[in-house]
Structure 1
Amino acid sequence: MIRTLAKATFFIAVSALPISALAQNHSKKTATKTAATYHYAQRAQAMQFADDLAERRGLDREWVRQAIGQARLLPQVPRLVLPPARGTPKNWAAYRARFVEPTRIRAGLRFWQDNAEALARAETQYGVPAEIIVGIIGVETLYGQHMGNLRVIDALATLAFDFPDAHPRAAERRAFFQRELEQFLTLMDRTGIDPHTPRGSYAGAMGLGQFMPSSWSRYAVDFDGDGRIDLWRSAQDAIGSVANYFVGHGWQSGMPTHYAVAFDAATLQLDALLAPDILPTFSVASMAAQGAHVQSEGAQHTGPLALVELQNGAEAPSYVAGTENFYAITRYNWSSYYAMAVIELGREIATARATPR
């Protein structure tokens, strides 16, 4: 990562709620005013956290206190992390249409063409197909067009100290963002970057591949060989880092992500098959014994599988048998819908690339 991040141009990655333009503008003005006048130096809890962090990590106490103290509350952020209201129907077709669409496919084709050498090198070195890497970066940021324009430290501090209690896993998520704030400041200290400079998403994710600070620390690589890691402006670093992330989460070279599955209505035990959710648990034989038959080459698969359900609103759900590589994609975002969007976007771009024009 380089020291001139302030000169880079970033884009807001979060979508507004469906409210009127007038209300939306009013909300932005109110949020900006509030965020500008409330700093975490005013919060005893935040300052105690800063002192503890400095001691744990061996960082300069005043530097940490200043970094966190100058972080601003972002009032719009807590509502963005709340889950949809209960009863909100999931719809795979609608979700897919948001990401597997002409604009993103064209942008992905350009990205692949511009970075063909790095993608091929990553595939060879890490065993992760280029289309999966391209799919991730496309879904995450539309190839750098939507990397987020919020100060990372503001987003992380807001979620570390003002995570909404209404969330069903509030304590767990609050602790997660406190750890991410700690990782972020450790990273900034190590790289010599002003912690108030980096920009990212409302959750504190950064760069083309939207890495959280802990993922940056563990998996980011200098794939372009220039002696620094820059996930914002080096597509090569982002490509190598995404591939390394997958390897770190169990990606197996040459394994498909999923297979088609057919049901035997007479023996189907759907509840039992869905109980492990997307965690690969069943063999081909044990799935068949419960009425789900893996199709074609999947019948020869030797590893564990999960029955993945994709709801389609009022229509019948779709099902696939997900492999350990499907599960690895969900470690990027814990959603089977997300994983399928990544897979299908990458596949569409690969098809477009192979199609004579």
Structure 2
Amino acid sequence: MNFRARHFTVLLISSLVLGACSTTPTQEVKTPEAIVNQSENLASEAQISQNLKQLIGQVAQKQSIPLPILESSFADVKTIASIRKLVLPPSGTFKKNWVAYRKRFIEPIRLKAGKVFWEQNQAFLDKIEQESGVPAEVIVSIIGIETIYGRHTGNFRVKDVLSTLAFSYPDTPNKAAREQLFKDQLQDLILLCWTEAGGQLPANNSIQGVNNSRLNSCLNQNSSYAGAIGLPQFMPGSIRSFAVDGDGDGYIDLKQSPKDAIASVANFMRKHGWQPGMPIYFPIPESGIEAARALADGEPQLKYTVQELIEKGILTKAQGDLQSGGVEPQSKALIVDLPYPDKDGIDQVRYVVGLNNFLSIVQYNRSYFYAQSVAEFAEALGYKNQSVVPANTDAGVVKAPGATKAKTKKTGSKKSKQKS
């Protein structure tokens, strides 16, 4: 999930999986680089160290974790100046480019890797889709866009990243809010790693049973330049809130276990309002573009009913018909604007109508570009992006007729219907 391609500005909350994956160009993937740990002698190094020590002390006291253990684990923490540049917003002359963004992620290498990943995990993906209602194509799409199925999970030590951004975030208008967010994530990392090491929360001031090696391994694991971890690029807070043990081995491992990653992505989407059997977005006919342009405001809120958009000529009647692959007329929607410069450098905008499931993807990464890419990647894998009238329900999860059988086909056999 990528800070740099942000399409609208909105404050991220701590329960959100932050947009921070080590996404890569479309070239073949090289061997992962060594973890970056070097210090850059920042002028505020001493103050950063003092602030970190204070936070560690607060966490240790509140959670009854022996302070010497945490101090020892953070003794070698480094401040990394390069990531301060990576999280800076684009310059004022930067032009958002939906076409370039889409091309970067919906491309042959990722799609081929997606087919392989699906085939390798087909039975489990079928199971998770039936249980959660989140289509396998969407899960595969998210993991592919995030890390190309684990090929690019970042090359920074997570404790270095979060310490740097928590106490030395670059000077931006939202500096205070961003530092607080990363302080929260650093605390979540400590609690996550303490639990993984066998500690209890709250503990009883006893270090018995705590595996120091596992604690340090967790704190020193690779992450993106914003602290996102593993195949699905979950932030520590999201790992604690939404990650699940998919393979049933009693341990959540988003770095090495595809099943844990698959189940965790599905759980995140389900808990963020994914509606089983419903489409993600609707294309807008040429005749409705002007009306859509007048309503587009960049705010990620479901402001209009589908019926209202039909009456304005932005959608067709079929898109408000559940039996025709659409949704209920009273379903809520928003106008999504995807700007790009054309070959002559003239600003253009593509518009689509985002539905509830579009907004669920936005909760994974707060970018219209990202959410639309996930939808179109899924379509390239065979997702039909239309409603499936439920045949029955089981514990509130909609099951489409023959859904499991449909997923026994090989992926990628159907091309996306949505034009770029």
- What's the TM-score bracket when you normalise by the shorter of the two chains? 0.7 to 0.9
How many pairs does the alignment contain?
A: 330
User: Which shows bigger deviation, 260-269 or 134-143?
Assistant: 260-269
What letter matches 2:193 in structure 1? M
Q: Which residue of 1 aligns with 2:279?
A: 256
Contact in 1 for aligned 2:106/2:373 (Cα 8 Å): yes
Deviations 1:312-354 (A, max 9, x none): 2235311111011000001111001001111111221337725
Q: Does structure 1 residue 311 correspond to structure 2 residue 339?
A: yes
What letter matches 2:309 in structure 1? M
Q: Secondary structure at the match of 1:286?
A: helix
Q: Which residue of 1 aligns with 2:399?
A: none
The equivalent position to 2:315 in structure 1, one of 286, 294, 316, is 294
Aligned partners of 1:234 and 1:127: how far apart in 2?
21
| TM-superposed deviation, 1:170 | 1.3
Q: Which residue of 2 aligns with 1:66?
A: 72
Aligned partners of 2:310 and 2:280: how far apart in 1?
19
Q: Secondary structure at the match of 1:34?
A: coil
Q: Which residue of 1 aligns with 2:267?
A: 244
| TM-superposed deviation, 1:197 | 2.8
Q: Does structure 1 residue 346 correspond to structure 2 residue 378?
A: yes
What letter matches 1:306 in structure 2? L
The TM-score with structure 2 as length reference comes to 0.72
Deviations 1:128-148 (A, max 9, x none): 000100110000001110011
Aligned partners of 1:354 and 1:292: how far apart in 2?
33
| TM-superposed deviation, 1:64 | 2.5
| TM-superposed deviation, 1:35 | 7.1
The TM-score with structure 1 as length reference comes to 0.85
Distance verdict in 2 for CA 1:172–1:130, change over 3 Å: same
1:151-230 mapped onto 2 (5 Å cutoff): 151-165=157-171, 167-192=172-197, 193-194=215-216, 195-230=218-253
| TM-superposed deviation, 1:31 | 7.9
* Aligned-residue identity in percent: 34
Unaligned runs of 5+ in 2: 1-20, 26-33, 198-214, 322-326, 384-409, 415-420
Q: Does structure 1 residue 284 correspond to structure 2 residue 333?
A: no
User: Which shows bigger deviation, 41-50 or 260-269?
Assistant: 260-269
The equivalent position to 2:92 in structure 1, one of 81, 86, 89, is 86
Q: Does structure 1 residue 320 correspond to structure 2 residue 352?
A: yes
1:3-18 mapped onto 2 (5 Å cutoff): 13=22
Aligned partners of 2:45 and 2:120: how far apart in 1?
42
Contact in 1 for aligned 2:161/2:226 (Cα 8 Å): yes
| TM-superposed deviation, 1:90 | 1.1
Q: Secondary structure at the match of 1:241?
A: helix
